[in-house]
Structure 1
Amino acid sequence: MPESMRGLKRSHRCQEVINAAIGSEVTVMGWVAKNRVKGGIIFLDLRDRSGILQIIFEEEHCGKEVFAKAQKLRAEFCVAIKGKLEKRSGAANEELATGHLEVEARELRILSESETPPFHIEEDSKTKEELRLKYRYLDLRRPDIQKNIIMRSRIATVVRRCLSELGFLEIETPTLIKSSPEGARDYLVPSRVHPGKFYALPQSPQLFKQLLMCSGYDRYFQLARCYRDEDLRADRQPEFTQIDMELSFVDVDDVIEVNELLIKTIFKEVLDVDVKLPIQRMSYAEAMERFGSDKPDLRFGMELKDISTVASKCGFSVFKDAVSAGGAVKGIIVSGQAGMPRKKIDALVEFAKGYGAKGLAYMAVENGGGVKSSFSKFLNESDINEIIDIMGAKEGDLMLFAADKKAICAQVLGALRVELAKELGLLNDREYEFVWITEFPLFEFSEEENRYKAVHHPFTMFMEEDMQYLESDPGRVRAKAYDIVLNGTEIGGGSVRIYQSDIQSKMFDILGLSKKEANERFGYLLEAFKYGVPPHAGLAYGFDRVVMLMAGAQSIRDVMAFPKVKDASDLMIEAPDSVEEKQLDELGLEIKNSR
């Protein structure tokens, strides 16, 4: 029969007893992690969100009735225990903060019993994720998940305090808004009051935060819930959180300066890691040239090197043809891997094909200076030496080459260097390498739609020196946009916004949006721009990604309390689900067909 807490008040969480005096009386409450009987003594591990504390029940101290009750305890029973804090009589457990302490129980109340859980509550659980997410309320008891959720809360607290001290105001923006079909698909919400019309859930607070700048609020932020109805991906959530901000009367350097202070503060206060400022900046063009990615992982080398010059005049037709077609030949060095087995190299070739490569060529500088290569028979000694010299290879190094369009070379080798770094153990989760990527292309051409599209969004400002190319060569125009990248993951991005009406109109023209279409989609913003809009810029972080990287977690689902699986369903509450016909009638809706 469950007992009440009447007369008992928790004095400490489990780990907080380290601050109490030996011999003092404490009252702790939590869940039974495990219990065992040894030599007539019951040893119980009590768990709460702070950690684990050992409790001992000895009949001579707690009495016959309490001892008998303690014998009935099972895993996940919720209990309250009152007793005397003592130094452990046996060997200390150095893995626990409370490993040198124990509570000699005097009183026990079983607040509620538990059925046998569908899986064991433990760190680094090997239970299938689908089962854990079905019983997420149990999974959330796991100490490693609790640490992640606690860290998430700490980061949010630091963000709020830091930005407030920097003069930002936390302002909430609506979550029932107008649909704007540019970009990812919206989640739609039918209106009962306005039959046949729909709200959309926000993909970001972009337009509202720009309106706040028009309204004179100067510096805004919020931890904003956002929604995107995107195609299925294993580590993407339909609803997520952004650390969102916007600033007035600023340019790129001002936004970066504020955010470097924010990053430094978060990492110091939460992880005690000193982030060196200023953070390195790298243009998009340089990042693609050196790393084959606009989110380069700088924890290791393996930079891309271009050997197109020698490739264009060598006897290997695969190389020569790629260059003559306007492409390139690029390679990476895998240090100390000249002896990599052919079977392993073949596996890397298959990996590269998954990223668009037709194949990979390799060359190894063996110990002693000999060269082993998949294409050396097509080269003379001078060509081989020139390739080795350009690549900067040493004895014992393996070189891998891709020959194709420049974009494919970058894509293939950019992915390959990261895959090799994982396989060779070059990635340290406790090493934090930041880089700002700047000067992104403003436009990209869509072959499918036969028009230019905004790489970021249609309110992004271009670099002033590129204005001359706006109409003649839009693909050449660079944006005043910036991403902050950590360990090969983009954790945030933003841009300076267009605030002049004539430039915004020109932008819409290039994107193929008529005045009518622009007004239908963004009329309220364009109307606001008629009344004295300040220069402004902003940035948003993927909060879940930030927490994941700081916690060393493998998935954003491990740092979200109630995540969904890759098909956007919630296994615990079984959502989405059908609704009653009455609800559909009230909304004037009917289900045409269902798959």
Structure 2
Amino acid sequence: MFRSHTCGELRLEHANSTVTLAGWVQTVRKFGSITFVDLRDRYGITQLLFGEELNSQLDANPLGREFVLQVTGQVQERSNKNPNIPTGAIEIKVSSFNILNKSAVPPFTIQDDTDGGDDLRMKYRFLDLRRNAVKKNLELRYAVNRSARNYLHEHHFMDIETPFLIKSTPEGARDFVVPSRMNAGQFYALPQSPQTFKQLLMVSGYDRYYQIVKCFRDEDLRADRQPEFTQIDCEMCFVEQEDILNTFEGLIKRIFKDVKGIDYTDKVERMSWEDAMWTYGNDKPDIRFGMQLLNLKFPAHTFPGRPSISNLIDGANFGVFDNAETVVAIAVPGCSEYTRKQTDELTDWVKRPQIGMMGLAFIKYNADGTLKSSVDKFYDEARLKAIAEAAGAKAGDLILILAGAEERTRKAMSELRLEMGKRLGLRKENEFKLLWVLDFPLFEYDPEENRWVARHHPFTSPKPDQIKTMIDNEPSIKDAARYLEHPYANIKANAYDMVLNGNEIGGGSIRIYQRDLQEKMFAALGMSEEEALHKFGFLLGAFEYGAPPHGGIAFGFDRLCSILGGSESIRDFIAFPKNNSGRDVMLDAPSTIDDKQLKELSIATKLND
């Protein structure tokens, strides 16, 4: 046998036992006539002691880092124990060894504080995976996977595979396409999600379905996005929204318990999409801390029925506020002592291209109750105090104000709020807060095409009490300037997102299951009857054969793992990720294919000069 125990298994109770270990050489330390070697495998590290009788053999066959080594010897108590590792109380006095394979000098050190940069470690990912930090991430990923499967099995969900080679129905993100050799000039697409298949499984009567499944989207990359990613994909029939929310709150709480040892007993908060946008500036708010938005000025149609307090800033002849569509503020606790250098740095931060603001105004609500502001030329102290108090500020706080176009300003303030929360240590890695965001608009208006687009996807049902509104009204928008008056502008989706610490980790909806309503949705999105039949005729046809009410949700598995692991990048939790250009630098993929393959696929390529 190659080994009797692993490198993380032996303890003092094994003393005087003869064992055989196998693994990789982590370090070699020679002290005169004896040599210490740290041997590593997936399970841990064990110290080896090579005595005088073996040193001559080591001189003839020296060990190097990452050599594959097999040793036999006796377990003994270490004289100099290492309390930082589970095996730190013992060592193996080696009686024989066998070098199973030698290793070239690694391009970077295989340890947590490695000297390898991202590009180098991605090229040699098979070596990077040996590092303990990466191994822990993959162990966490496996633990989340196992916990989810156990929970779903206990709740009668059935794991059913769906195809990877499907029909391209491009809307939203771009499809990856695969040429068909047997059907010249035709292409499969890789699925962006199993959406239509899981709905068909409900029509087929499978009641509760799930997959932990690969999905594919050809889109620009960032820290939390990969061209191939994994979802926990679920669907249930004969359910309403409340059934979905309760079931999948339970799933995430179970994962917290199994993976992090956290007994999440708090009630999961619920918030409407409009309240999230009004209070936090985005639809996936981090509710672990306050700093809620003060809406000093906003377009009346954006939040109809919300009270206006623009009187706090009106009439001061301050053009930046007067000419802005939106003015929003937050109160940052305990920061009134910020220096000019610090406020200038924040101004530069909001001026960055990814934030896109022209500037930043501030009010310092000093500890002694006085106020100083970058706009005190226009607003007296009484007005500044009224603004500060409306923002919920207390003495010692700093009020930050942004002004500009509605969408950009609200998004920028949301980002600034998160940044200040991070700087003040309010976004703690080991603190988790769940939130359901509900009642999204069913449609968004596309001014370039003068039509509606689906905020979620075209299979999402309206709220039950608004189905008639959708059926009874034509979707066409005759007067683009008055699209807000169209009945579709106020239809809410029977949809829900789960948010964790300011990240959307899951989203879903109650689905359309009647053919006439689904055809109405396709028409609303600008599809002709012929186009709808070409793309989704199989689904429309299935709805004629007793389709049950159904709904579901999909969780971003990679993102959930990264949040639980305290990382901002999902790449850290994927065994073989792509880089920011969508390349696998280890395999050198994507790559060209030879002319013979192109000919077999009936494909000719044309590259731009």
1:78 pairs with one of 68, 71, 74:
68
Report SS of the residue matched to 1:377.
Answer: coil
Residue 128 of structure 1 deviates from its aligned partner by 1.4
Q: Once the 2 structures are TM-superposed, how far is the Cα of residue 583 of structure 1 from its aligned partner?
A: 0.6
Counterpart of 1:15 in 2: which secondary structure?
coil
Aligned-partner SS, 2:46: strand
Matches within 5 A, 1:455-494: 455-467=455-467, 469-470=469-470, 471=473, 472-494=486-508
Give the aligned partner of residue 51 of structure 2. Answer: 58
Q: What is residue 3 of structure 1 aligned with on the other side? A: none
Gaps of 5+ in 2: 298-308, 474-485
Aligned to 1:209: 198
Distance 1:106 1:279 in 2: 59
**Aligned CA distance change for structure 1 residues 344 and 320 (closer, same or farther; 3 Å):** closer
Aligned with 1:431: secondary structure?
Answer: coil
Residue 44 of structure 1 corresponds to which residue in structure 2?
37
Q: C-alpha offsets along residues 231-275 of structure 1, whole Å, 9 cap, x if unaligned?
A: 243542111111111101111111111111111111111111112
Structure 1 counterpart of 2:452: 452
Q: Which residue of 1 aligns with 2:322?
A: 321
Query: Which residue is 2:285 aligned to?
Result: 296
**In structure 2, the residue corresponding to 1:109 is in which secondary structure?**
strand
Which aligned pairs between 1:471-550 and structure 2 lie closer than 5 A? 471=473, 472-550=486-564
Q: Post-superposition shift, 1:518? A: 0.7
TM-score of the two chains, using structure 2 as the length reference = 0.92
Which shifted more, 472-481 or 409-418? 472-481
1:385 aligns with 2:374: no
Amino acid of the structure 2 residue aligned with 1:224: V
Letter matched to residue 37 of structure 1: K
User: Could you tell me which residue of structure 2 aligns to residue 351 of structure 1?
Assistant: 349
CA offsets 1:340-381 (integer angstroms, 9 cap, x no match): 122322232233233243322100012212211011221234
Q: What do the CA deviations read for 1:138-169 (whole angstroms, capped 9, x no partner)? A: 11111100111122122212211211111000
Deviates more, 1:238-247 or 1:150-159: 150-159
Does the CA-based 8 Å contact 1:42-1:57 persist in structure 2?
yes
- CA 1:371–1:381 in 2, change beyond 3 Å: closer, same or farther? closer
1:222·1:244 contact (CA, 8 Å) conserved in 2?
Answer: yes
Distance in 2 of aligned mates of 1:15 and 1:195: 55
Structure 2 vs 1, CA of residues 554 and 51 (structure 1 numbering), >3 Å: closer, same or farther? farther
Higher alpha-carbon deviation: 170-179 or 472-481: 472-481
Q: Work out the CA distance in 2 between the residues paired with 1:456 and 1:163.
A: 24
CA distance in 2, matches of 1:594, 1:24: 69
- Kindly report which structure 2 residues correspond to 1:12-31, keeping only aligned pairs within 5 A, or say none: 12-18=5-11, 21-31=14-24
User: Does residue 576 of structure 1 match 2:590?
Assistant: yes
SS of 1:435's equivalent?
strand
Task: Show CA shifts across 1:477-511 (max 9, x none).
Answer: 11111111111111111111011122112212211
Q: Distance in 1 between matches of 2:588 and 2:407?
A: 42
CA contact (8 A) 2:11 2:89 kept: no
- Give the number of equivalent residue pairs: 581
Specify the alignment match of 2:106 in structure 1: 117
CA distance in 2, matches of 1:532, 1:429: 47
Query: Partner residue of 2:136?
Result: 147
Structure 1: 5+ residue stretches without partners: 1-7
Counterpart residue identity of residue 570, structure 2: I
1:99 aligns with 2:71: no
Q: What does residue 286 of structure 1 align with?
A: 275
Per-residue deviation, 1:277: 4.6
CA distance in 1, matches of 2:13, 2:193: 47
- Partner in structure 2 of residue 5 of structure 1: none
Quote the RMSD (CA, aligned, Å).
1.9
Distance across 1 between alignment mates of 2:11 and 2:143 = 21
Contact 1:27/1:82, CA 8 A, preserved across alignment: yes
TM-superposed deviation, 1:314: 4.1
Q: How many angstroms does 1:459 deviate by? A: 0.6
Deviates most, 571-580 or 585-594: 585-594
Aligned to 1:4: none
- How far residue 66 of structure 1 moved from its aligned partner, in angstroms, is 5.1
Residue aligned with 1:16, SS? coil
Q: Which amino acid aligns with 2:449?
A: E
Letter of the 2:587 counterpart = I
